[in-house]
Amino acid sequence: MKIHIKKGDIVKVIAGNSKGLQGKVLKVDKDKYRALVEGMNLIQKHTKANAKNPHGGIIKKEAPIHLSNLMVVDSKGNATRIGRRLGEKGKLVRYSKKTGEEIK
């Protein structure tokens, strides 16, 4: 299955606890079909004391979200589906199915 989301894209969460929020994709795991989105799906992780965090404690960090729960946001701020077509130089480019403009 082709992956419609890339690292650096701005996405909108369409399902789950963070529904309706937008954020930037930090990492995409193609094998598990999940993505880390900045500031979304936060979990609390209990840590022991270590060099980075000498007192230990509870830290908040992002957990992966399934790609089916994310939609790419185009330049106008609308969540849209993604299509692929041949660009000017003969390469495949992604475009917004809602507005028809290219997504970079």
* pLDDT tens digit sequence for 46-95: 999 999 889 999 999 999 999 999 999 998 889 999 999 998 888 999 99
Tokens 């609390």 belong to residue: 44
**CATH class for the region spanning 10-74:** mainly beta
Tell me the CA distances in angstroms from 74 to 2, 10, 11, 43, 57, one per residue in order. Answer: 19, 8, 9, 28, 39
- pTM, rounded to two decimals: 0.83
Task: Give the tens place of pLDDT for each residue, 26-59.
Answer: 999 999 999 999 999 999 999 999 998 899 999 9
Report DSSP state, residue 51: S
- The predicted pLDDT at position 17 comes to 87
> Which SS3 state, helix, strand or coil, does residue 68 take?
helix
Q: Between vectors from CA 45 to CA 43 and to CA 51, what angle results, nearest 5°?
A: 140
- The predicted pLDDT at position 2 comes to 81
Residue 2, judged by CB atoms within 10 A of its CB (0-12, 13-18, 19+), counts as exposed
- The predicted pLDDT at position 18 comes to 87
CA distance 102 to 100: 7
Amino acid at 39: G
